[in-house]
Amino acid sequence: FEEILGAYLIHGDEDFFKEAAIKTAQELIPADLRAFNLTVLHEPDLAKLSEICETMPLFMDKTMVIARELAKSTDAGKLMEYLEHMSPSTVLLICLKDKLDGNSALLKRFAKIDRDVLFAKVEPGDAMKWCMATAVSNGVSLPPAVARTFVGIVGSDMSNVSNELQKLI
């Protein structure tokens, strides 16, 4: 948690891995301190976001704020201006449901500082590899031909793949 600094934009169409990454980030805060140092907001406006981001951590050096979507009224320029002066003790994850358009001002600003994290749809070949690796980690062998057929039937939406693979295992 000490290496993570500032704000990150998390977006994309692949919800399974995006949610897994957010959960992993939350788990960087010890369970007994999450109530004090983790805040999840839904569609906050800039005023609410900045208010929460300025809250000091308790019993830790940092606090984490997860903003699930942003209020439609949020101005990307004003948000980025705020983020330049945000408390260094806050890690902010702005999590958007869909992939942002390449012309998005918010995406351009986060890409410029190399803080945009895109979770794109998984290609079938990568879904097959994930299935085989996950099966092995669960003590089951999944030959490539079976994985190919499995992904061909289930598709490459990783939420479905994961659910169906757990049933198969």
pLDDT at 68: 97
Q: What share of the chain is helix, strand, coil (3-state, %, to 5)?
A: 45, 15, 35
pLDDT digits (tens, 9 = 90+) for 117-167: 999 999 999 999 999 999 999 999 999 999 999 999 999 899 999 999 999
User: Which pLDDT value is given to residue 121?
Assistant: 94
At 3 the pLDDT is 75
Place of tokens 């990783």: 158
The pLDDT value given to residue 164: 96
Over residues 100-121, the pLDDT tens digits come to 998 888 899 899 889 999 999 9
The terminus-to-terminus CA distance of the chain in angstroms comes to 33
For the stretch 1-53, pLDDT in tens is 767 889 999 999 999 999 999 999 999 999 999 999 999 999 999 999 999 99
Half-sphere exposure of 93 toward its Cβ, with a 13 Å CA cutoff? 24
List CB contacts of 167: < 8 A, sequence separation 6 or more.
none
- Among 48, 108, 49, 42, residue whose Cα is nearest residue 77: 108
Alpha carbon distance 18, 121 (integer Å): 11
pLDDT given for residue 78 in this prediction: 93
Tens digits of per-residue pLDDT, 73-83? Answer: 888 889 989 99
**Residue 14 per-residue DSSP state:** -
